Amino acid sequence: MKEMEKNDIWAKNAAVLTKFFPGLVEQLVGVETSATPPVALRLEAAADGEPTLVVNGMYIHSKREPLREAARLADAVAGGGARRGVIVAFGFGLGYAVVAAAEQRGNSRPLIIVEKHPEILKKAFETRDFTGFLSKNIIAFALGCTEDSIFGALSFFNEKKDVRILKNRALVQLDEAWYAGIERRIHTWQTKDAVNEATVKRFGDRWTRNFLKNCAMSNCVCAYPGVSRLKGLLKRDIPLLLVAAGPSLDGATRLLPAFAERCAVVGVDTSLHYLIRSGVDPDWIVSGDAQYWNSRHLDRLGASNACLVTESAIYPLTLRHGKRTFLFATPLPLGKQIEERVDPKGRLGSGGSVATTAFDFCLELEPSVIFIAGLDLSFPHYKTHFKDAFFEKQANAQAARLCPAETRSFRTLRDGDPFYARAANGGKTLTDKRLSLYAAWFENRLFSINSARSQNKLAVYSLSEEGLAINGLQTARADDILSLPPRRPEIHSLLHSAFDKIERDFADEGRERMERWTAAMSAIGGHVQD
């Protein structure tokens, strides 16, 4: 292709890109400043006269009829079916298949173009005229080496279920591991709502029974304030430590008291006894599982001064624990309707694990920095939990000669469809589909938080170097916390003052709240009974 013709095509495409995709032109022009391009590009003429692209010696399109090949690929992905959803193109090449897919749907379906190497996209815009394609279609670009960028594009289109992937197999083969990571994240995006819906369906009856009993026993909706009243509580630049329940907790036992002197502490219910044995009384303990056995994690919580953070459809025994209780919005439709009419509690995210709910609670407090201990989301050294956890005690108590505790541990590892994935320290760690789903929830949440902030990005650090790598979650060492000044007296004073004010305000609103309760019961046509 002549240099003058190449410049003319690039100029036309660049004008449209500048109008519809601000910043993308600068990103593509910056590719030229790279001293060592990661891929070698060469243009050739196909048998039908159309240009075809060779990358690292591999033909990306047909050497004979690239347009006909593209039409066939596009028909397999975009042809037939409803006009809803989004098409995600893995590898742009010279854009033949992507343009054909857009034409299949009459410009009605959003397109996300995922390209590992921006210089390939630059070459396409120098070679073919895309002005009509760029100006008439709904397009987002996810370029470079940031795997979680796909979350931003899917969030922009708000597409969660109907996602079709259009693959340029040659380009995918060049960067197979990277594109596989993108595909896993798309799968997570597609299934996360289905997982939450399945959870509601599976535990709906249990939640309903729990909610009705809790309302009959303590009128919990009126009795306990919501977590929304704690919003921004730690805005005084106070760091926060979230203690999850992964196997790496075993390595933090001696240091936890020193951590608690420097940070406010939020623990998940499964880690409570571990914290108390380690000499740490957390400031909050989060519980969100509605089943009986989960309530057993809070046995002897009366020995703790921790505030209980839970929801109104929790197993009734759970609400008997804790000296002070805050509720977050229940996932139960009946409970949601009543809470919204009586006293909205404040919504916390649910990624299927109490650790995800606890993390969202930490965000509600708005600390200066969040450190997370025990968030492994994997099985480092083939361990499924920290030593002496409730699960381990239960396994030992139920062990038999033909089914020892080790057998249950092995089944936990085997039955989750395990696979090796990248660890935070750069090595590999064993995880499974369920845990990787939680990891994707964290990635999506971290991406959403920091995308909404033009500056002052939230710093979140994991103390588990052998845990599953989570994009957006940095690693930290114990010294990073120990170098902070002790602030426990200040934290105690702040919390007690805030809790006293919340209790006074909540009590002052008691009469109006009961009137709203009575009106809500009349509106739904009945009374909440045991």
Terminal Cα distance for the chain, rounded: 80
Bridge partners (DSSP) of residue 164 are 87
What pLDDT, in 10s, does the model give residues 71-125?
Answer: 998 888 876 554 567 889 999 999 999 999 888 766 567 889 998 888 999 999 9
Query: Which residue from 327, 338, 382 is spatially nearest to 517, judged by alpha carbons?
Result: 338
Residue carrying the six token digits 């594009």: 153
Residue 52, SS3 per DSSP = strand
Residue at which a domain ends, from 174, 196, 219 = 174
Extract long-range pairs of 486-490: CB within 8 Å, 24+ residues apart.
486/261, 486/262, 487/238, 487/261, 487/262, 487/263, 488/260, 488/261, 488/262, 490/238
What pLDDT, in 10s, does the model give residues 27-59?
Answer: 888 765 454 456 889 999 999 899 999 999 999
Q: Are residues 135 and 209 in the same domain?
A: no
Q: Are residues 130 and 252 in the same domain?
A: no
Strands annotated E in 133-193 = 139-143, 163-167
CB atoms within 10 A of CB 398: 10
Distances (CA, A) of 512 to 214, 468, 506, 507, 515: 21, 48, 10, 10, 5
Q: Measure the CA–CA gap between 308 and 303, rounded to whole angstroms.
A: 13
* 320 domain-assigned: yes
* b/e code 173-182 from CB counts within 10 Å (16+ = b): ebbeeebebb
Bridge partners (DSSP) of residue 243 are 267, 373
Q: What is the pTM of this model?
A: 0.73
* 500 domain-assigned: yes
Sheet holding 284-286, edge to edge: 324-328, 307-311, 284-286, 264-268, 240-243, 369-373, 459-462, 474-475
Sheet holding 41-45, edge to edge: 41-45, 51-55, 58-59
The token pair at 217 is 């026993």
Residue 124 belongs to a domain with what CATH number? 3.40.50
* 294 domain-assigned: yes
- Burial label for 513, CB within 10 Å (0-12, 13-18, 19+), is middle
Residue carrying the six token digits 């009137």: 515
Distances (CA, A) of 346 to 88, 143, 156, 231, 310: 35, 36, 24, 9, 11
Q: Are residues 399 and 320 in the same domain?
A: yes
Q: Measure the CA–CA gap between 115 and 122, rounded to whole angstroms.
A: 11
Q: Are residues 155 and 217 in the same domain?
A: no
* 191 domain-assigned: no
pLDDT for 389: 65
How many residues would you count in the chain? 530
* 467 domain-assigned: yes
CB 218 within 8 A of CB 126: no
Residue at which a domain ends, from 152, 174, 196 = 174
* 517 domain-assigned: yes
Q: Are residues 320 and 234 in the same domain?
A: yes
Q: What total number of domains does the chain contain?
A: 2
Q: Are residues 145 and 249 in the same domain?
A: no
pLDDT for 529: 45
Q: Are residues 321 and 216 in the same domain?
A: yes
Q: Are residues 165 and 215 in the same domain?
A: no
What pLDDT, in 10s, does the model give residues 444-473?
Answer: 788 777 766 656 778 899 999 899 988 788
Q: 459-462 and 474-475: which strand pairing?
A: parallel
Residue 163, SS3 per DSSP = strand
* 188 domain-assigned: no
Q: Are residues 259 and 138 in the same domain?
A: no
CB 310 within 8 A of CB 287: yes
142 CA to centre of own chain: 18
What pLDDT, in 10s, does the model give residues 387-426?
Answer: 766 566 665 556 666 677 666 666 666 666 788 888 998 8
Share of the chain above pLDDT 70, in %: 82
* 498 domain-assigned: yes
What pLDDT, in 10s, does the model give residues 320-359?
Answer: 876 799 999 998 888 888 999 999 999 987 766 889 999 9
Q: Are residues 167 and 210 in the same domain?
A: no
| 141 pLDDT tier (thresholds 50, 70, 90) | confident
Residue 483 reports pLDDT greater than 70: yes
Q: Are residues 430 and 338 in the same domain?
A: yes
Find the domain containing 514 and state its range.
Answer: 205-376+386-523
Residue 172 Rama label (left phi>0; alpha psi -120 to 50; beta): alpha
Q: Are residues 408 and 461 in the same domain?
A: yes
Q: 58-59 and 51-55: which strand pairing?
A: antiparallel
CB 522 within 8 A of CB 273: no
